[in-house]
Structure 1
Amino acid sequence: MDVSTKYPRLPPIICDRDKIALKEVRTYIKSELEKARCSTDDVDVKKFSIYSTAFSMLISKVTVYRDILSDIKREYEDCINALKNGEREAKFLKVKVKTMTSIPTTVHGYMKREKELRERLSILYAENERLEGILKKIIDEHENLNHDHHDEVESDQEEESETDIIELKPIPGMPVSEWIDEDALKYALEKLTNTLEDLKSQKQSSYVTIEEMRAAQQEFDGKYAEKEKLEEECQTLKGRQKILKMAADTAREYRELKHDIVDEKLSSYISKKVTAYSIKRETTNLVESLYSVFDDDDPSKEKEAEMILDYIEKFNELFYDEEYVDAATHAAISPKGVLRDMETFLRFKEVSENFEGSPSPLLVFAEAFMYSSSAQNHYADEKISFECVNCALREKRPDLVLHWMSNGYIKSCKSVADRLVEFASSASKRKTACLAVAQKMYAELEGSKVISAALLYKLKQPTRMLEFAISEKFTRDTYLTLIKECTDVDLVWLLCNTKGDEILEDETRRNYTGYEGSLPLPLSQALASLLSEGEEAKEMVLNLLDDIFYGQKSEQDDNGSEPESAFLASDLSKIIYEDGQDPYDTDDLVTQRWEALAGACEESGRTEVLMEILAALTVRATMKKALDLIAEDEKEQFDYYT
C-alpha cells in the first residue's frame, strides 16, 4: 500500500521568519488596496503596481524558491509590459487612422476657400480701377485750380509774418520723417515740458538771489572767523595744559631724584625742562606752518575739484538722457567715490520703480558698484549692501548675491541675512545656498547666534549645530530659545540626549567643562518651555509624551540605526526619575515642570499619560524622602562614633 494514500499529506513546515514575511505582505497588500481604492474586478495599473511590490517583498524575505519566484515575476512583468505597449500603440494607430481619414475633407475645404478668395480678388481689382479713374479726374481739376490761383498764393507767401517763418524751421533733435508724425511730436512736446518743469524746480531749489548769497557768505565768514578764534584759544589752552603737565611730571621726577640733585632747586629744574620743551614745540610749529603754506598754494587741489564737478555734470547728463548703463558705470568708478553713496542709489531706485524690462537701472548700478569695489577700495556699508541684495533678490538673481558674498563685496549685517532667509522661504532654486550665506552672516553678528544655530539645524547639519553652540558657550536659556526658534521634536530629543563633551576634542572639552548650561538639557524643562509657544508647539509636546509612553520613540545607537527594543510604557517613569540630576536644577523645579506637563495632558484628555506622570512624581517624591532619611541616619551614626 502506498504510504501517501494511507496517511494524509502534511502541510509544509514554515519557519517563523517566513510567517512574519507572509503576514507583512498580506498586510501591505490590504492596506495599499484600501488607500488606492482599487476594485477587485477591474484591471487597474495601481493594483498591478501594488501586487508587483508585494511580490518583490515576498521574494526578498522568503528563504526557499527565491530564484524561481524571481523568474516567474519577471515573466509576468514582461507579459504585462508587452500588453501595455500594445495597447498604447493601438491607441496611437487609432488616432493616426482617424487623422488620415480627415485629410480629403480638409483638402476639399481649402480648394473651396481658394475659389472664394479668387472671386473676391477680382472684385477688388475692378473696384481699384474705378477708384483710380476718379482719383485721376480729381487731380486734373486740382491742377487747374492751382494754375488759376498761382499769383495769389505767391503774394500771400510774401506777406507771411516772421513768426510763421520761424515755425517752418526744422525741429532740432528730430529727424525729418517724424515732423509729420503726431505721436512723435506729442512725445517730444511732453519731454520738453518735463525738462522745462525740472529746470524751473531746480531754479527754485538749487539757486538763490545774489542778496541771499551775499548774506550767507557774510554769515559764513563770521562763523569761520569765530571758529579760527576758538581754534587759537584751544591751541593756547592745550599748550598751557601740556606745560603744566610737564611741570607736574618734572616735580614728581625731582622728588624721586632729590638725593642725586643737591645743588639745583626745584624751580630752576622745572624751568630748564619747560624751556627745552618750548623750544622743541616752536620748531615743530614752524615746520608745520611751512607745510600748511605749501598745501594752501598747491594748484592741483583746485584742478582736482574742477575735474570732480565736471565728472558729476557728465553723470547728470547721462542720467537725464536715460542712458542708465553708462550712467551706472560712470558713477561706480567716480574719483574718490563721490558718486558711490546712498543718494545715487536712491536716484536709480526712483527710476527703477516704473521701469519695464530686466535688468532694472538699480540692478545695473548695483552690479557696477560691487564689481568696482576692490578697484576703488570702497566697499558697501550696511544700507548699500541691503539695497543691492534686495534689488538682486527682487529680480530673481540670487547668483549675484552669492558671488558678491564670496568675494567680500557685501558687509555682513542682520538686515541682509533676514532678506536672504525671507527669499529662501519662497524660493525653489539656490535655497540651501542662500540659507548657508545667511547662517554665516548671523554667526559673525552679536545677538544672532541662536538664529545661526537654528539655520544649521534647518540645513540638516545637527553635528555642526552642536559644535557651533558649544563653541559659542550656549547657556541653558540659549538652548531653550533655540528650541522655541525651531519647534522641532527631533531637536528637543537631540539636545536632551546629547552630552556636550562627547562631540568635542580634548582641548576644547577642557574649555567647555564647567560652564552653566552644558548638555544634555532636562527633558521636563525643554517640554515645559514649549507649552507657552502656541497650540502647535503644545501639540508637539503632547505627541512626544504619547510617543514615549506608548513606546514609539527610541534612541539611536552609535551606527545611526534603531535599536532592537523600543521604549516601553515604564520608560516615561524612568525619564521622570532621572530628570534634573544636575547641579543647576532642584527637585521642586523638576516637580513643577512635570506638573505643568500633566496639566496639559489633562486638558487634552490624555488620561493614561497623566496617570503615569503623577504616579512617577509620587514615587520620585517618596524615594527622595527615603534617601534623605537614610542620609540623615548615616550622618547621626557618623556623629555618634566621632
Structure 2
Amino acid sequence: MNPSIGRSRNPILPPIPSARDRKFLLSLEDFIKTETEKLSAAGQLDDEQQYIIYGQVFEKLIEHCAEYQDILTAIKQEYEEFIDVLRQGEIDATHLQAKLKSLTSEPTTLMYYRKRATELEERIELINLDSDRIERELQKLLKQTSMKHPPVKEKSPEKEEINPYSLIPGMSIEDSLDMAALENYQQQLDDKKQQLISSMNTKYVPIQRKQELDLKLSLALQEREEAELLNKKLMDSYQKKRVIADAISFWAKSNKNVGLYETLAEVIEKESELKATDESAPTNVFDDLEPRKSMEAESLLEYVERFNELLVSGQYKAAALYAAHSPRGILRNIETMERFKAVIQPKDQDPPLLLFFEAVIGSSNLARHPVNAALTLEGVKCALANNKVELVVHWVTQQRVTFSEPLGDVIWDYGEKEPQHKVTCLALAQLIYRKCSSLRKAALCMCVQGQIQGVLDYTYQSKRFLLDDYLFLLKKCPTMELINGLTKEWDGKPAALSVGQAVLSLLCTDHKEYGFKLLENIGQCGEDALEQVILNDAVCTAEGWVEIAEECSNNNYKQLSERIMSVVTSQDGVVEIPPKDEDAKIMEHVYM
C-alpha cells in the first residue's frame, strides 16, 4: 500500500501555538537574511561563514525551546564532531600533498647502496689483483738488476739536528726574543695540536664502522621488503572486507527487493571481473563513488619514487616513459627535463634528454595532454642539436607540440645553418607561423620558397595583413614578381602598395636596383605610362618622387631621373626651388 494515499499534496507544518513563537521565528529569519546579505556584500560569504551563522541560530533555538534543550544540544554536538572529523580529513590530505611536493625532487638511493657496495668491492678486488701482478713484475725486475749490479749499502740517514740558533718559522727576531710572545706562540701550537687530536677522534672512524653500517643497511632493506609484503596482504584483506561492508550498507539503504546473499554474490563477481579485465581498475567498485585524496597522494608519491629509482639506476628510457605517462602530468615539466639534462651522456647511446623528449612529446596530444610552449621549444632544440630533423617533422605534422613564434624561429635558424634541410625547415616554419597567427613570417617563408602566387592570395585574403607587413615582405625578400603583385590590382582588389611607396621602401635597403628596375619596366610600357603612375599615386607625395629622382640620378639612371622630374614639375602648383636656398625644401606645394 502506498503510504502517500490519504495525505494532502502540500506538507502540513506544525501549528505555531503562540504569537511569542511566531515572533521568535521571524526574528531568526531576519537574522539569517541580514547576516547573509552583509557577508555577501563584503565578498566573505563561504561555507565556513554559513556554518557559523546557522550555528548561532541553532544556539538561539536551543535557548528558546527549554523543554527540548537536552536533545537539541546533543544533536548539535554530534554535528560539530562530524564536521571536525571532515576538517581533520582535509588537513591530513593537505599534509600528504605537501609531503609529495617536497619529495618529488629528492631521489631515493637507499635501495642501491647494496648494489654500489658490490660494485666497489669488485673494483677493489681488480685493483688488488693488478697490484699483485705489478708487484711480482717489479720484484722480478729488481732481481735481474741486482744480479747485474750488486746493491751498494747506503748509510742510514742520520736524524736531522735542529739548530737552536735558527729563526722560528712565522716569528720575527724581536718576537723570538720576547718571552711573552714565545709563550703566546706556544699556546697557539698547543691549541692546533688539540684541534688535530679532536679531528682524528671525530672526523675519522675505523673501517669496522663501515661494515657495521652495511650490515644495518642490509637488515633495514630486508625489513622493508617484509613490511611491504605484509602491507600488501593487509591491503588485499582490507579491500575485500570493505567491498562486503559497502555492499551491506548499499543493500540496507535500498528497497531490499533482492536478498542480501544475492547482492553480495553479485558485487563479489563484479569485483572479480574488474580485476581480471583491467589491472589498472580500482581495487574496489565503490572507489569511484568515494575518492580519497590521501590515497591518491600516496599513489603519486610511490610513482615518483619509482621514477627516481629508474633514473638513478641508469634505466633512462624506462624513466622517460615513466615520466611521459605520469598521472596528472606531475613529471611532464621543466624540472624533470633539468634532471635528464644533468645526466652524463652514455657512450654509443642516445642522450637521456632526447629520450625524455621522445617519450613526452611522442605521447602528447593537444586536446588531452598538451606539452607547454617552453617544454616544446627545449625539445625541438634538443632534437635539432642531435640532427633529428625527421623527429621534429613528425612532432609538428602530427600536432604533438604547442605552436609558438619562437618555435618557428628556431626551426628557421636551423634551416639557415644546414642548407640540406632548408626546404624542410621552411615548410615546418610556415606551418607553425600560420598556426600561431604570425602572418608576416608565414608569408616570408612562402616567398623564400618561391610561392609568390600563394603569398599574394594569402596576403590579399587576410584582413589582418597591414601596411607594415607588406613593407616587411618587400624588404626581406624582394623579387620582381612579388613587387609587381603588390603594386597592381589583385582579383578585383586594389593594390597593397603604390609604386612610389614600394620604390621608397626599397631605396632604404640594399635592394635599390629592384626599385629602379620597376620604374624602367613601367617606362617601357608606353610614353605616358610612367607619367600616369606618378599622377595617379595618391600615397607618395611630390617630395617623395623628387627623392626618387635624386636617387636615380645618383645611381646613374639620368634619363629616368629627368623623366620623373619633368612629370613632377609639370604639375600645377609645383615649382622648383633654386639650389642656392640651402634651408628650403626640394619641392613645395603652392596652394592658389
Q: TM-score, normalised by structure 1?
A: 0.43
Higher relative contact order (CA 8 A, sep 6+): 2
> Which structure shows the bigger proportion of residues in helix conformation?
1
